[in-house]
């Protein structure tokens, strides 16, 4: 039972009901919102709460649950039940898409982990959506709500003919339109339009006799007439006939499809009831996520054991205010408990201190819970079930019954005393006010005593000292105070259970500047005992505030100390772990590196032995070993003590003495061409890159000549071929294949000239040029140059398996 009759409006639940309706995706869900009822049985209530809790978990996890096409096709189903009736395309689209949503929802719960959504999974038992029916609808209506062209062979044929005729009509009307515009009969920006289902032209009224045809309509001003040209009469007639035939065939298809749907109506009604229930539960879950609600531990008895409970309407209002104005205000949570030993809470404290808000929070949150909604509380909260909630709050003065405010309160007390029992929750705001204080307090104390004897549960707010004293000495009653800062005269909105609160009336009057004489006179009238009592409560409040501040600071310091100690421990452990890991990795890397080095050395020795002192093989083996040393061992070979700068084009002049960089011999520069130079080495001209040359001074030339003579005197034949040119080294470093792929034609020609000179000088029998196929430019440049050289005996393609015409082979004389 709920009292008064307008309980929902007085407690504020109508706002939450509106929120639920706004969260629904369909009228089906909103119907469930309208049918919500106050639950007094534990098992049904627990099932509703578990459904909402599971769906809230689903939303918080971000699972891909269908959230579209929640249509309400009840009107369509009623029409489909009539023999001979048929549903239109839009109706079949809604039925098809919503049935698809139902199938997706059923599939989601059946495929999910069995332990995640047990109560939601049970909702789908007995719900069926026939696949063949869905397939039949999908064959006629697509996912955009349009009729498919292939819904039937005849429909496709009609559609194709209709499109063809419409194309002819557009072409003909376009020709007439161009001619009429050229003649000035039709405005330049005018386009064909539709009148009576036929394509017409907007003609200026004064030229309407110029266009032969039928006038269908005219504009509101009479300045324009809409004429169907005579030339398109037949095409328009054909299109009209085809359009009629199309609609006849479509109606036949829709009628047959409706006949196919009619036997499934009972299953469809069950399916849509399921869809509406899912929509309703989803709306409850969305509200729970918005308010950060939880499912408390439920008991099958009256109980309130709440932690961190918040007033939901205040929370919504603060959130809205924060979005609009950036105000960071938060709802102050309440902790309270009503159990068998502590059934009635008497809350006292100053005006505007939050007493009424605390009482309304209790009433609204408990009502939410028993309406099947999750509540805004902490995880460790517990709750029970009440059979009745009685509320007396606000001004209930009745003009019709000639009742004063106090009389209406007394009438409410009468109903409470008659109807309340051990499973009732009674909520009374400003108990006993509205009449002479001593009498009002006495009546309130007597009523409170009767309610206590009836073993009701309740929350009562008051300013009366006698009620506070009664609560102190009476079993099952407990005092509570709304915290207040007596220094700043500001409410803290925190409920403290276990002691009464002061109204701070005298202190507030003094702080706001009421005349001192008035304040002192009031104190005398109240009496010393009352003043002493209030001052005692005020002193306790100050001490409580100071103690809380010190405790909070001590707690923060302790947390900082624990955090610092934990960070130190973690850092020490991390360093130790890192040291051990680094040593272990270093040992493993050193072992692997040593093994790789030994393998590389053995491989190099093996290549040298197999090569039988072949210089080319030996050089490649040494280069491979050098590369391994640089990359794997990360050791660079020693650099020469003295380094020379390579020559640049601007530094060289014909006649200069030059040497190949890193070679012992020297020659004379003949000419410079771009990035290459023609050098005379011992009577043999050679093309060399300028970057490979170094310019020599007189002293360097003298040193090189002396070194060459000394070396020549020691050799008995030797393998040097020409002054200053180390032929052996050149042969060791020469590759008979030149890769020109990706080069420009000019650079490729320069490289080819130098490469051919070196090959001729070193006595190579055959050389190759890799130029690729591409557009053939590089191949043409290379072969033209080769054919112009006397030292080249023949030029041809490589074997097809080894590159074909992408490789040029030159045989040297």
Q: Tokens representing 623?
A: 């280069």
Per residue in 33-92, pLDDT (tens digit) is: 999 999 999 999 999 999 999 999 999 999 999 999 999 999 999 999 999 899 999 999
- pLDDT of 250 strictly over 50: yes
Give whole-number Cα distances, 333 to 7, 290, 366, 710, in Å.
Answer: 24, 16, 15, 102
Give, rounded to a whole angstrom, the gap between the first and last alpha carbons of the chain: 119
Q: For the chain, what is the total number of helices (H) and then of strands (E)?
A: 24, 24
Task: Output the pTM of the full model.
Answer: 0.61
Average of per-residue pLDDT across 389-408: 66
Q: Looking at the chain, how many residues does it have?
A: 813
Average of per-residue pLDDT across 640-663: 67
Rounded distance between C-alpha atoms, residue 684 and residue 758, angstroms: 10
Q: Tokens representing 687?
A: 């093309």
Average of per-residue pLDDT across 378-388: 95
> In terms of C-beta density within 10 A (0-12 exposed, 13-18 middle, 19 or more buried), how is residue 424 classed?
buried
Rounded distance between C-alpha atoms, residue 566 and residue 572, angstroms: 10
Per residue in 147-166, pLDDT (tens digit) is: 998 889 998 999 888 888 88
Contact 282, 35 (CB under 8 A): no
Contact 317, 20 (CB under 8 A): no
> In terms of C-beta density within 10 A (0-12 exposed, 13-18 middle, 19 or more buried), how is residue 523 classed?
middle
DSSP state of 670: E
Average of per-residue pLDDT across 98-109: 94
Residues above pLDDT 70, as percent of the chain:
82
Contact 205, 225 (CB under 8 A): yes
Average of per-residue pLDDT across 760-782: 85
Nearest-Å Rg of the Cα atoms of the chain is 50
pLDDT of residue 705: 72
When the pLDDT of each residue in the chain is averaged and rounded to a whole number, the result is 82
Per residue in 548-557, pLDDT (tens digit) is: 778 878 888 8
Beta-strand relationship, 424-428 and 737-739: unpaired
Categorize the per-residue pLDDT at 386 as very low, low, confident or very high, splitting at 50, 70 and 90.
very high
Per residue in 200-245, pLDDT (tens digit) is: 888 888 777 877 778 888 888 888 888 888 777 888 788 888 889 9
Per residue in 411-445, pLDDT (tens digit) is: 889 999 999 999 999 999 988 776 777 788 889 89
Per residue in 532-579, pLDDT (tens digit) is: 555 555 555 566 666 777 887 888 888 888 888 888 888 888 888 887
Categorize the per-residue pLDDT at 722 as very low, low, confident or very high, splitting at 50, 70 and 90.
very low
Highest average pLDDT, of 184-188, 324-328, 612-616, comes from 184-188
pLDDT of residue 70: 93
Average of per-residue pLDDT across 239-258: 91
- pLDDT of 639 strictly over 50: no
User: Cα 231 from chain centroid?
Assistant: 60
Contact 93, 111 (CB under 8 A): no
Average of per-residue pLDDT across 9-14: 93
Residue 4: cis peptide before it, omega within 30 degrees of 0: yes
Closest CA to 745 of 781, 769, 776, 771: 781
Contact 386, 366 (CB under 8 A): yes
Rounded distance between C-alpha atoms, residue 508 and residue 152, angstroms: 86
Contact 232, 172 (CB under 8 A): yes
Rounded distance between C-alpha atoms, residue 104 and residue 56, angstroms: 18
- pLDDT of 107 strictly over 90: yes
């Amino acid at each position: 039972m709920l009292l008064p009759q307008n309980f929902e409006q007085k407690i504020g639940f109508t706002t939450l009901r509106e929120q639920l309706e706004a969260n629904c995706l369909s009228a089906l869900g909103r119907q469930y919102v309208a049918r919500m009822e106050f639950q007094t049985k534990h098992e049904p209530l627990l099932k509703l709460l578990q459904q909402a809790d599971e769906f809230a978990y689903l939303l918080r996890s971000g699972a891909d649950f269908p959230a579209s096409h929640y249509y309400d096709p009840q009107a369509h189903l009623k029409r489909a039940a009539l023999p001979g009736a048929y549903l239109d395309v839009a109706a079949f689209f809604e039925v098809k898409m919503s049935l698809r949503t139902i199938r997706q929802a059923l599939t989601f719960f059946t495929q999910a982990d069995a332990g995640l959504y047990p109560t939601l999974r049970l909702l789908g038992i007995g719900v069926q959506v026939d696949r063949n029916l869905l397939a039949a609808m999908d064959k006629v209506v697509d996912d955009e709500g349009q009729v498919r062209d292939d819904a039937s062979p005849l429909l496709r044929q009609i559609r194709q003919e209709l499109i063809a005729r419409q194309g002819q009509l557009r072409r003909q009307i376009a020709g007439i339109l161009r001619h009429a515009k050229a003649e000035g009969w039709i405005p330049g920006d005018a386009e064909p339009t539709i009148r009576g289902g036929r394509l017409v032209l907007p003609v200026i009224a004064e030229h309407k006799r110029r266009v032969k045809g039928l006038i269908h309509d005219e504009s509101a001003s009479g300045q324009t007439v809409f004429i169907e040209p005579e030339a398109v009469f037949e095409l328009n007639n054909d299109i009209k006939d085809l359009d009629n035939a199309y609609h006849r065939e479509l109606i036949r298809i829709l009628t047959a499809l409706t006949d196919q749907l009619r036997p499934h109506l009972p299953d469809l009604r069950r399916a849509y009831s399921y869809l509406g229930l899912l929509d309703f539960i989803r709306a409850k879950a969305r509200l729970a996520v918005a308010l950060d609600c939880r499912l408390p531990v439920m008991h099958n008895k009256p109980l309130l054991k709440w932690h961190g409970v918040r007033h939901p309407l205040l929370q919504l209002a603060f959130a809205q205010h924060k979005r609009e104005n950036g105000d960071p205000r938060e709802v102050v949570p309440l902790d309270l408990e009503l159990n068998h030993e502590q059934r009635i809470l008497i809350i006292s404290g100053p005006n505007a201190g939050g007493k009424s808000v605390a009482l309304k929070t209790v009433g609204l949150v408990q009502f939410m819970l028993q309406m099947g909604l999750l509540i805004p509380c902490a995880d460790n909260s517990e709750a029970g079930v009440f059979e009745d909630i009685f509320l007396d709050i606000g001004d209930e003065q009745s003009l019709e019954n000639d009742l004063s405010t106090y009389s209406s309160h007394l009438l409410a007390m009468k109903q409470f005393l008659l109807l309340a029992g051990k499973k009732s929750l009674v909520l009374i705001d400003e108990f006993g006010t509205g009449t002479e204080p001593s009498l009002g307090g006495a009546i309130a104390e007597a009523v409170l005593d009767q309610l206590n004897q009836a073993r009701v549960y309740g929350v009562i707010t008051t300013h009366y000292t006698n009620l506070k004293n009664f609560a102190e000495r009476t079993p099952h009653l407990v005092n509570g105070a709304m915290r207040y800062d007596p220094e700043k005269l500001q409410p803290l909105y925190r409920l403290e259970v276990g002691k009464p609160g002061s109204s701070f009336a005298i202190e507030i009057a003094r702080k706001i500047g009421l005349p001192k004489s008035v304040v002192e006179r009031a104190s005398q009238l109240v009496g010393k005992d009352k003043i002493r009592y209030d001052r005692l409560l005020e002193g306790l409040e100050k001490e409580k505030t100071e103690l809380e501040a010190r405790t909070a600071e001590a707690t923060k310091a302790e947390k900082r100390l624990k955090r610092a100690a934990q960070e130190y421990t973690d850092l020490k452990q991390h360093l130790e772990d890192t040291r051990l890991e680094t040593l272990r990795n270093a040992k493993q890397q050193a072992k692997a590196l040593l093994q790789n080095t030994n393998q590389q050395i053995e491989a190099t020795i093996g290549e040298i032995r197999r090569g039988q002192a072949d210089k080319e093989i030996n050089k490649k083996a040494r280069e491979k070993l050098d590369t391994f040393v640089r990359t794997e061992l990360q050791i660079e070979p020693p650099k020469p003590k003295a380094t020379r700068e390579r020559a640049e084009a601007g530094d060289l002049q014909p006649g200069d003495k030059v040497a190949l960089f890193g070679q012992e011999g020297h020659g004379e520069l003949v000419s410079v061409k771009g990035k290459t130079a023609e050098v005379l080495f011992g009577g043999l001209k050679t093309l060399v890159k300028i970057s490979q040359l170094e310019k020599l001074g007189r002293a360097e030339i003298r040193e090189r000549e002396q070194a060459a003579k000394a070396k020549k005197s020691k050799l008995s034949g030797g393998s040097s071929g020409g002054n200053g040119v180390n032929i052996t080294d050149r042969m060791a470093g020469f590759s008979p294949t030149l890769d020109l792929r990706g080069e420009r034609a000019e650079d490729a020609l320069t490289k080819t000239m130098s490469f051919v000179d070196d090959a001729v000088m070193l006595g190579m029998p055959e050389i190759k040029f890799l130029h690729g196929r591409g557009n053939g430019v590089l191949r043409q440049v290379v072969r033209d140059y080769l054919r112009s050289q006397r030292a080249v005996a023949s030029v041809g393609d490589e074997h097809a398996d080894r590159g074909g015409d992408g490789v040029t082979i030159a045989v040297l004389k």
